[in-house]
A and B are shown apart, each in its own frame.
Chain A
Amino acid sequence: QSALTQPASVSGSPGQSITISCTGISSDIGGYNYVSWYQQHPGKAPKLMIYNVSNRPSGVSNRFSGSKSGNTASLTISGLQAEDEADYYCSSFTSSNIVFGGGTRLTVL
């Protein structure tokens, strides 16, 4: 299985909204509503931000939202804040396995 495709980097100014895309195929993102998003700050373990495409775990800000259309999932962060600067990874279930994306570095300008 190949890694999901994410842009290497995105950037935005405080208060703005950004969207990170995650593209797969019909046997992973397109076939299941099991897309997750993780935030990772340098030197830290990943943190779950979104599961089942659009659900937020308890304690995650509602500025984070997820969606999916066909074989592409998206993470949107609204009202960008300095602490949102981090690496973001998508993942998807795929016919009994799990695959991650290549990661996107978010820079808050």
Chain B
Amino acid sequence: QITLKESGPTLVKPTQTLTLTCTLSGFSLSTTGVGVGWIRQPPGKALEWLALIYWDDDKRYSPSLKSRLTVTKDTSKNQVVLTMTNMDPVDTATYYCAHRGMGESFDYWGQGTLVTVSS
């Protein structure tokens, strides 16, 4: 079955770069049509889409965060990596990776990882 799991630091300092890894199971990013997205959710707030990477290495980013985000894939490890530069306390959130489903939906989600930005 399809599962995803996020991993990375739970605490980063302001101005640092965050690197999160999403490990995929049950599917491969080398398969035509597959995509993996990143979504975050500050405590008590709404979901915010961050980025999406497709099987053909096409990448899409949130316009408001595009300058700070990079998403890459490692098909040999079946992983997707998200980096976000210049972290700020307002970036404190639970970060999710998710499998792209029909109609640009997200049909399988990781459990999420809480990242706190604080000095």
Contact = CB atoms under 8 A, between A and B. Distances in A.
Do A and B originate from a single complex? yes
B6 to A, nearest CB: 10
Contacts of B110: 45
Interface stretch (B9-17, B26-34, B41-49, B70-78): B41-49
Contacts, number: 71
Determine the interface band of chain A, counting residues with CB < 8 A from chain B: 20 to 34
A89 B46 CA distance: 8
A36 B107 CA distance: 10
B106 interface: yes
Contact of A98 (B46, B52, B107, B109): B52
Contact of A34 (B63, B104, B109): B104
A104 to B, nearest CB: 10
Interface residues of B, number: 24
Interface string B48-66: 1100100000001111100
Interface string A74-96: 00000000000000010101001
B104 A36 contact: yes
Contact of B63 (A3, A97, A102): A97
Given A34-B104, A57-B107, A100-B47, 6 more contacts: A38-B106, A48-B101, A91-B105, A98-B52, A99-B49, A103-B47
Interface of B: 37, 39, 46-49, 52, 60-64, 96, 101-107, 109-112
Interface of A: 1, 3, 33-36, 38, 40, 45-48, 51-53, 55, 57, 89, 91, 93, 96-103
